[in-house]
Structure 1
Amino acid sequence: MEFADFVPSGNQAVDPQLYEIENQAIDRDGIMWNRLQRLARWRGKTLLDLGCGSGYWLPKYHDAAEVIGVEPDASLIGLARSRPGGATVLSGSAEQLPLKDASVDVVHARFAYFFPHPGFDPSAGLAEVRRVLRTGGSLIVIDNDTQNGEFAELLRNSPWAEQQGQDTYAIDWWQRQGATTHPVMSSWQFDSRADLEAVLRLEFPADVADEWLTAHPDRTHLSYGYLLHHWRK
């Protein structure tokens, strides 16, 4: 199925294998993961990973009663379905969820769709999430903190800064929807310098990545701040 408003990602869709290394580097200390569990526990419940990509995170929800992944990029669905754990992976988008009304308890959207900025209003996707969530259910959007941490510094120096916003636009937008925002400082930790260099050059223009790498010649990690926007039905 094709979605008229779908734009392939500039990282995972370009190099899924390298993006796997990137995912493996995320939050190795479990700081963000623990906060996710405290905000909306999914044990014994139905969890939707909205924009699940190649499905890296699907097996990690093993204690949910049911795990569903929804992904608009047809090139990634096969990879997601091959993950262990038996998650159901469906073709769909934030605005077109192939699920029944009031059928899930928790929705996670990780770096997918819900980046409000002056040129984009994700209200249509939020309306769909509202439809499929049960009463009392939660949506948690894992977003980039554009103010705090070394990753935020890279964002501010890149062309992507305008899209993601350098101020409190996203926080303010979510507050108007009745959500609460929880900042979390975690990190990227890579097994090798080569992996870090490759991922930075996947995520950022070469000049931005190279400037940071030159300034930090011995590093295999960097601080990474997240914003967890929590909205409840």
Structure 2
Amino acid sequence: MAQNEVPAGRELARVQQEHWQRTYTDHPGMYGDRPSEAARYAAGAFRAAGARRVLELGAGHGRDALHFAASGFTVQATDFSPVALAQLAERAEAAGLSVGCAVQDVREPLALPDASVDAVFAHMLLCMALSTAEIRALVAEVRRVLRPGGTFVYTVRHTGDAHFGVGTAHGDEIFEHGGFAVHFFSRTLVDSLAEGWDPVEVHPFEEGELPRRLWRVTQRRPGEPL
């Protein structure tokens, strides 16, 4: 590698961040106001587990973060797009809801103390342009910031999706189509990420007009609640 050459993975991450910035700028509130099906499920699961403090990773313009806040949770929302978070903050203020917002690149350690949240939610964040190694490191960080007994709900597009294998291949099951790079998950990867956790459920579902085919994964950090 030349002295000033950027590693391929980092360059893809930079391009994707710029792409999302432009997308949110050109299409404010692009996902609408209604929470995702996954967020509605997660709110119920978190409530049943006695959660109060919820961290959302990859919150975008906030349709799910606002749903959690309206459901009575204390919410910290993160995204790597400042444009999206500005839209989230504006929407939260208009709705009279309190949501903490912070820019976070999930390739870096999460800016939270150990065992500081009761639940973590990530809708299609883990299947962005992240390498398998980066995904494993992120799941380890989620485990670190979750309290014992805390719940992690995430969704990912999987290898049964119609866009798997379509477009530009970046290796490591990452394919770019229409400007968006996606890491498509195998069931083997899902199961390996659950090692050391108390697994609860891997639920298949569909979303959107294609439709996108996803898994909704629920797992808990072992241990008794603090």
Q: Which of 206, 216, 219 is the aligned partner of 1:228?
A: 216
Q: Which residue of 1 aligns with 2:177?
A: none
Question: Sequence identity, in percent?
Answer: 18
Cα displacement (A) at 1:175: 3.7
What's the offset of the Cα at 1:227? 0.9
Q: 1:146 to 1:99 in 2, by over 3 A?
A: same
Q: Which amino acid aligns with 1:65?
A: F
Give the C-alpha shift of residue 102 in structure 1: 1.8
Judging changes above 3 Å, is the alpha-carbon distance between structure 1 residues 66 and 159 closer, same or farther for their aligned structure 2 residues? Answer: same
Higher relative contact order (CA 8 A, sep 6+): 1
- 2:79 is aligned to 71
Q: Is the 8 A contact 2:164 2:184 kept in 1?
A: no
Give the one of 107, 113, 127 matched to 2:140: 127
The answer on whether the counterparts of 1:174 and 1:180 sit within 8 Å (CA) in structure 2 is no
Q: Secondary structure at the match of 2:159?
A: coil
Gaps of 5+ in 2: 1-9, 175-182, 222-226
* Aligned counterpart for 1:93 among listed residues 102, 105, 108: 105
Distance (Å, rounded) in 2 between the aligned partners of 1:57 and 1:171: 23
Q: Distance in 1 between matches of 2:196 and 2:34?
A: 28
CA distance 1:64–1:146, change in 2 (3 Å): farther
Total equivalences in the alignment: 191
Q: How does 1:6-85 map to 2 (within 5 A)?
A: 7=14, 8-9=16-17, 12-16=20-24, 17-18=26-27, 20-21=29-30, 23-24=31-32, 30=37, 32-41=38-47, 45-61=52-68, 62-84=70-92, 85=97
Structure-2 separation of matches of 1:63 and 1:26: 13
Q: What is the TM-score with the length of structure 1 in the denominator? A: 0.65
Residue of structure 2 aligned with 1:174, choices 193, 199, 204:
193
Question: How many Å separate the matches in 1 of 2:194 and 2:132?
Answer: 18
* Alignment partner of 1:183 is 2:191: no
Paired residues of 1:185 and 1:223 also in contact (CA < 8 A): no
Q: Distance in 1 between matches of 2:28 and 2:201?
A: 26
Structure holding more strand per residue? 2
Report deviation, 1:159. 2.8
Structure 1 runs not aligned, ≥5 long = 189-220
How far the C-alpha of 1:155 sits from its partner, in A, is 3.1
Computed over aligned residues only, the root mean square deviation of the Cα atoms, in angstroms, reads 3.4
- Alpha-carbon spacing, 1:66–1:39, altered in 2? closer, same or farther (3 Å): closer
CA contact (8 A) 2:54 2:74 kept: yes
Moved more, 174-183 or 113-122: 113-122
Further displaced range: 34-43 or 70-79: 34-43
Is residue 102 from structure 1 mapped to residue 108 from structure 2 by the alignment? no
Partner secondary structure for residue 155 of structure 1: coil
